[in-house]
Amino acid sequence: MPHDPPVGPAKVWLVGAGPGPADLLTLRAARLIGQAQALLYDALVDDAVVALAPPGCFRLRTGKRSGKTSMTQAVINGLMLKLARRGLSVVRLKGGDPSIFGRVGEEAAFLSGHGIAVEVVPGVTAASAAAAQFGFPLTHRGQARRLLFATARIENGALETEGWDGGADPKTTLALYMAREAAGAVADRLIALGRAPATPAIAVENAGRADARAIRCDLASLGPAIAAAGLGGPVVVVIGEAVRAAAAAGLCAPRSAAG
């Protein structure tokens, strides 16, 4: 049904869509999508989530998928600003959690700088979805006392070397996003810094979705294992002793969703 324009100053909601399934949305996220008059959504947002928007909602897929043609950030910023200034209820919908490699800081700063109010709504991030789906914790008493979120950047054929020292700590769980291409280089770097080659690792494709796949290996074989698996979807890699629970359980397929 149609919705009246919001009362008060222009506002944009930066909303986490979670890892895919609509039933992993927060209640707040689902409510805002259901009230949206303009929905700008990323390429990895599931169709079932987009379908929650009401009839008459302006819907636009903005892309932002690694390696694929997409809108530039400047164009997306301009669209959010234009739609908010027209008095529409604008939801910027992002896969996972918008505060974890979702450029939420850039978008919030841009909008705030132009007088637009911003509210961030968190979502389930891929590492959490992978851990729940394949039966391992991200932290574990006595094994994993800290969790490090990271991405890997390849510059001129080599891994950017700065900032990996924390990942070499044997009691750190490393969750590596956008990891398909650079996982082998990251593994080599961590081993060079002292992380044991036998450290458990798991690469999860399409974490949280029904078609998720998990490749279990150790740190030394991480790059070749991912290459041999031919993974095509988004991949999150988790490295650390806490991952051993998944290997011990013999999990190679996702657990069935309740209900």
Q: Catalytic site residues?
A: 42, 64, 178
Report the length, in residues, of the chain: 259
Does an H or E element contain 48, and which? Answer: helix 47-50
Residue 196 is given by DSSP the state: -
Instruction: For residue 9, count CB atoms less than 10 angstroms from its CB and return exposed for 0-12, middle for 13-18, buried for 19 or more.
Output: exposed
Retrieve residue 13's tokens: 């909601």
What does the angle CA 95 – CA 97 – CA 98 come to, to the nearest 5 degrees?
85
Say how far apart CA 132 and CA 110 lie, in whole Å. Answer: 35
Full DSSP string of 11-29:
EEEEEE-BTS-GGGS-HHH
- Cβ-proximal residues to 220 (8 Å cutoff; 6+ apart), any chain: 187, 191, 197, 198
Q: Measuring CA to CA, how many Å separate 5 from each of 11, 83, 255?
A: 11, 11, 42
